[in-house]
Amino acid sequence: MASKKSAEPSPESIARANRRRLAAEEGARAMADVEQMAIAVRKNMERLRALREAREAEGMKTHVVFPVAAKKKRK
């Protein structure tokens, strides 16, 4: 006689399903964390770029206003 499968899942299949569910949730959290970190890095890069460009622009203003004198040659 062939036995029919019961409608209730086995404890092993329940444990496997729980592990898969937890792994999926953990993976989603990890991906969200990575995305948040990437956003923070891009914001910081943008901030640093703006500071560098402002510093370079200020340097160009002072360089144009006060040009560096050429060194005098000895005779």
Cα separations in angstroms, 36 against 22, 25, 46, 71:
21, 17, 15, 53
**Band of residue 11 on the pLDDT scale cut at 50, 70, 90:** very high
**Band of residue 1 on the pLDDT scale cut at 50, 70, 90:** very low
In three-state form (DSSP H/G/I as H, E/B as E, the rest C), the secondary structure along the chain is CCCCCCCCCCHHHHHHHHHHHHHHHHHHHHHHHHHHHHHHHHHHHHHHHHHHHHHHHHHHHHHHHCCCCCCCCCC
Global model pTM greater than 0.85: no
Summarize pLDDT for 24-65 with one digit per residue, the tens.
999 999 999 999 999 999 999 999 999 999 999 988 887 765
Range of 62's domain?
35-66
Summarize pLDDT for 18-33 with one digit per residue, the tens.
999 999 999 999 999 9
Structural domain count, the chain: 1
